[in-house]
């Protein structure tokens, strides 16, 4: 074997070589072995297969060799004789390796955030009316005057209604005036209440 020998560490490799044996009868069988030396403290011996005249093949299994070179030898045993015609080092092709590095840390899941905003706020309810004790003297005087006018209007309306009840020939126009007078009295009473500003 004159060319450099290379094997794979991660898969089986077939190695073919020539072995010329002379001085023996053709009927004498020869045993050819390929030996991987000192693999993890042991020699790995592979019996070779003869493929043609003087040609042999060794099927080297995947040995997971760490070193870049590994020693080997070829052994021939014939007619009770032992020969080691070849010895050397073979190159070991490493298995391809793929490495991945994380370039950025994954984003940690953030806690959900909840925000609220006030769209509208109900206004505080104000009192529609004020108490007599909270009125000024002028407001109390104006209220008394309006109440007196309302009393006179109601008194007039009551008189008109009493005439209607006795059937004293009251015309429809007079009845309409009664209703108008009562409505005016109600308006005066409503306006006589002082609203809070």
Q: CB-side exposure of 66: number of CA atoms within 13 Å?
A: 4
* Whole-structure pTM value: 0.46
Q: How many CB atoms lie within 10 A of CB 7?
A: 22
- The answer as to whether 59 is a domain residue is yes
Single out the residue in 64, 93, 122 at which a domain terminates. 93
Query: Are residues 163 and 84 both part of a single domain?
Result: no
> Could you tell me where the DSSP H helices lie in the chain?
137-166, 172-191
Q: Which residues on neighbouring strands pair with residue 96, listed in sequence order? A: none
User: Quick one: tokens of 63?
Assistant: 């040995």
Domain-located, residue 107: no
Domain span including residue 25: 6-93
In a domain, 104, yes or no: no
Cα–Cα dist 74/36, whole Å: 9
Q: What is the pLDDT of residues 148-178, one digit of tens each?
A: 777 777 777 667 666 655 555 556 666 667 6
Q: Give the model confidence (pLDDT) of 89-144 as tens digits.
A: 988 888 777 787 777 766 666 677 777 666 665 666 565 566 667 778 887 788 77
Q: Looking at the 3D structure of the chain, how many domains does it have? A: 2
């Amino acid at each position: 074997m004159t060319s450099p020998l290379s094997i794979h560490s991660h898969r089986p490799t077939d190695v073919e070589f020539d072995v010329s044996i002379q001085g023996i009868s053709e009927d004498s069988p020869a045993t050819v072995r390929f030996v991987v030396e000192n693999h993890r403290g042991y020699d790995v011996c592979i019996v070779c297969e003869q493929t043609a005249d003087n040609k042999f093949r060794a099927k080297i299994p995947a040995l997971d060799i760490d070193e870049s070179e590994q020693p080997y030898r070829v052994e021939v045993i014939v007619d009770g004789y032992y020969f080691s015609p070849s010895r050397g080092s073979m190159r070991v092709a490493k298995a391809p390796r793929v490495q991945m590095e994380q370039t950025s840390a994954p984003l940690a899941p953030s806690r959900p955030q909840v925000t609220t905003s006030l769209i509208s706020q109900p206004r505080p309810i104000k009192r529609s009316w004020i108490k007599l004790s909270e009125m000024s003297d002028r407001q109390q005087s104006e209220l008394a005057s309006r109440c007196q006018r309302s009393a006179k209007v109601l008194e007039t309306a009551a008189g008109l209604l009493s005439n209607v009840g006795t059937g004293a020939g009251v015309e429809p126009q007079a009845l309409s005036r009664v209703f108008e007078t009562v409505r005016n009295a109600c308006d005066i009473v409503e306006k006589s209440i002082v609203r809070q500003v």
